[in-house]
Amino acid sequence: MSTPGPAGTPPTPPDGGQRLRAVHAELMARTPESSVQPRLEPVAEVLGLLGDPHRAYPVIHVGGTNGKTSTARFTERILRELGLRTGRFTSPHLTKVTERISVDGEPLADEAFVALHEDVAPYLAMVDGRLRSAGQVPLTYFEVLAVMAFAAFADAPVDVAVVEVGLGGSWDATNVADGAVAVITPISLDHTELLGDTVGEIAGEKAGIIKEGAAVVLAEQPADAAQVLLRRAVEAGASVSREGLEFGVREREVAVGGQVLALQGMAGQVYDDVLLPVFGAHQASNAAVAVAAVEAFLGGERSLEPDVVRTALGDVTSPGRLEVVRRSPTVLVDAAHNVAGAQSLVAALEDSFDYTRLVGVVAVLEGKDAAGILDVLEPVFEEVVITRSGSARAMDVDDLADIARDVFDEDRVHVAPRLDEALQVAVDLAESGTASGLGAGVVVTGSITLVGEARVLLRADRQRY
């Protein structure tokens, strides 16, 4: 809607921010992202009407449970350092929906995102109409974003797209693409109500992104998951490279601002003196997987120039992943939202930081293993402040606090329903237990939505994405 101007002047069009908010509201009015539809046909139908943009470039498809976004970001950055024009589709976003679709490492501008939605809207409407007539659910929030990403990458055009699976694999909207490389990050229990109760069952769903004749890059996996993934690779006639065997982390040393790595590639090349400016052994593994993914994309027998790897990985960011967003006291945010993610967070805190007193700010979404997450975090948090994010799926604060009291001593659990209050309580608690606040830290975790909101409150969303 336009804003009326002074008499005799044309109305002022809404600014890009207003238009983006309107488009995002329209997207959110569709079936929620968390309401997964086990289907590919509607997405393929829209893309067919658009001329199959997802077939205009090769795709590196990234699935798994934890580490997908970081691995996708690292992979895309290496490809860009090789001089290739890249597309990157990741989810969910932390602050702004435009973060999900990037070209050449930059999220789409507000105006470009709005224009893209306007371009695909008539085709979405056609398929929505057919679905409604058949008594089916219209295209979901995530399905539409996947369509938009594939269209944006063809329009750019990109040389290669790195596409992160939203949830699962076989029926995920992104699986309309035939990935030249299928990357599977570590698999653990998450979304069990949708994907299965065991790691093996979940691996069977995630193995669906392995296509005929593809190259498969496997992060280190639990035995049950590895068995399923390898079986699928054999059935598809795919080549397989495994972390710890064909590639991996040779050496790792904690350093100021991150870590220094020696990575072994698939062709035997060792990339040493790689400064990775993010924390944790899990991120070192993600970097090794990203290098292997690029090598696989280039044919598997070709090593990269060491300086390409050093420059690319030395420049990566991974927002919301053990990210320092404030100093004095230090406030870190980490998007761990399941037990495996919490375990990686704890290991990285113990490995890379030297705090004498840590206080947690925790919110969890309904359906997550809140007790399991808190149980993992308890040994490293002196106290915990229970809060909630703005998500409609956020667990009730009192219910989560009851769970926390079962894990922590009651006097170590505090409740602050609003995030701004929770942050202030946590900062005060952290500083009160140390001399002049030295060695104090606050960690915000448990929910990606919570981390995104904390980044906005602490203005970390203004940092380079």
Q: Model pTM?
A: 0.91
Whether residue 46 sits in one domain with residue 133: yes
Asked whether residue 6 is domain-assigned, the answer is: no
> How many structural domains does the chain have?
2
pLDDT in the model for residue 224: 92
pLDDT in the model for residue 439: 83
pLDDT in the model for residue 169: 87
CATH for 405:
3.90.190.20
- The region, left, alpha or beta by phi > 0 then psi within -120 to 50, assigned to residue 248 is left
pLDDT in the model for residue 437: 54
CATH for 284:
3.40.1190.10
Whether residue 199 sits in one domain with residue 58: yes
Whether residue 457 sits in one domain with residue 350: yes
CA contacts within 13 A on the Cβ side of 29: 6
pLDDT in the model for residue 435: 54
- Which residue range(s) make up the domain with 383? 323-462
Domain end residue (candidates: 251, 278, 313): 313
Whether residue 353 sits in one domain with residue 246: no
Task: For the chain, list residues with pLDDT below 70.
Answer: 1-16, 33-34, 189-196, 433-438, 461-465
Whether residue 343 sits in one domain with residue 247: no
Whether residue 355 sits in one domain with residue 206: no
**pLDDT by residue (tens digit) across 330-356?**
999 999 999 989 999 999 999 999 888
